[in-house]
Amino acid sequence: MAAEKDRWTSNEYQNVASFVPKLAGKVVQWLDLQQDDVLLDIGCGDGILNAEFAKILAQGNGSMVGIDSSASMIDSARKLCKDSKNSTFETIDATQLVSKPKLQKGTFTKAFSNAAMHWILRPEATRPDFFKGVYTALAPGGTFAFEMGGQSNVSEMRAAVLMAVVRRVGMDAALAADPWFFPDEAWVTAQLEQVGFVVEKAEREWRPTKADKGGVEGWVRLFASQLLDAVPEAEREEAIKECAEVLKVVCKNPGGGEVISYVRLRGLATKPL
């Protein structure tokens, strides 16, 4: 089987979605990281938040392991946190977390994930194992704080891309390439409880967000690349431009630029003692 294409670079991500770590304040508060915590960051990306976490952990005996399926993003995280002796980063697909013995020893006091689980949970078959993997990684009394795209997240963006792709390759091929899963709080609560977590809180928040420097076209090029790859290469640029033209109208901000309709789902769960 061919290796999965690495679609991420820190520079491109910062051009299109630098707001993602900047808007993580509430879920970081829920994490409540302490200086002696042992943290597992699932889908850590380029390490922007990890650099801040490392400062807290350096005040005590804490440590951190960041994992991400993108080797490029892990490389960026390592460089950003190169002076943090308490931090390690590994290229690991979180859908395979349950099969990584060194991460399944029940030694982490905290688990965290920001803006990653809507990608991780896309393959339906691996969803139960993902939650089992997080549960097993945590020590008794450990907590899992996360934020991801919730039901109706970026619905205008997703609809525009799906329509452009469907017109060229049909609905079945488009849905097969759709990379996202956006559940509601009832679904994620049930999944967490099924593996043994006690869910302390779960909520969805509509959070309209101004598009970054790359605008809606940059967003489409980066975040929808997997879906757009279903379109023959000769037609792909035309499909991207079609999406961008529509979204510049739909998402237009009277004050300038575009606003994207983000819906965030966040939760906090505890592994019983």
pLDDT digits (tens, 9 = 90+) for 61-96: 999 999 999 999 999 999 999 999 899 999 999 999
Average pLDDT in the 32-49 region?
A: 97
pLDDT of residue 2: 40
Per DSSP, helices labelled H in 18-108 are 19-22, 25-31, 48-57, 71-80
Structure tokens at 105: 């020893």
Residue 37 has pLDDT above 70, yes or no: yes
Q: Please say if the pLDDT value at position 159 is more than 80.
A: yes
Positive or negative torsion for Cα 65, 70, 75, 76? negative
Average pLDDT over residues 126-154: 98
pLDDT attached to residue 263: 98
Between 1 and 271, whose confidence is greater?
Answer: 271
pLDDT in tens, 162-210: 999 999 999 999 999 999 999 999 999 999 999 999 999 999 999 999 9
The mean per-residue pLDDT over the stretch 139-149 comes to 98
Query: Three-state DSSP class for 60?
Result: coil
Please state the φ and ψ torsions of residue 113, each to the nearest 5 degrees. -150, 130
> Strands 108-114 and 87-91: what pairing?
unpaired
Q: What is the DSSP string of 134-192?
A: HHHHEEEEEEEEEEEE-TTTTHHHHHHHHHHHHHHH-HHHHHHH-------HHHHHHHH
Backbone angles phi, psi at 272, to 5 degrees: -60, 150
Q: What is the pLDDT, as a whole number, of residue 169?
A: 98
CB contact at 8 A, 265 and 183: yes
Model pTM score: 0.93
Supply the mean pLDDT for the chain: 94
Position 21 confidence tier, pLDDT thresholds 50, 70, 90: confident
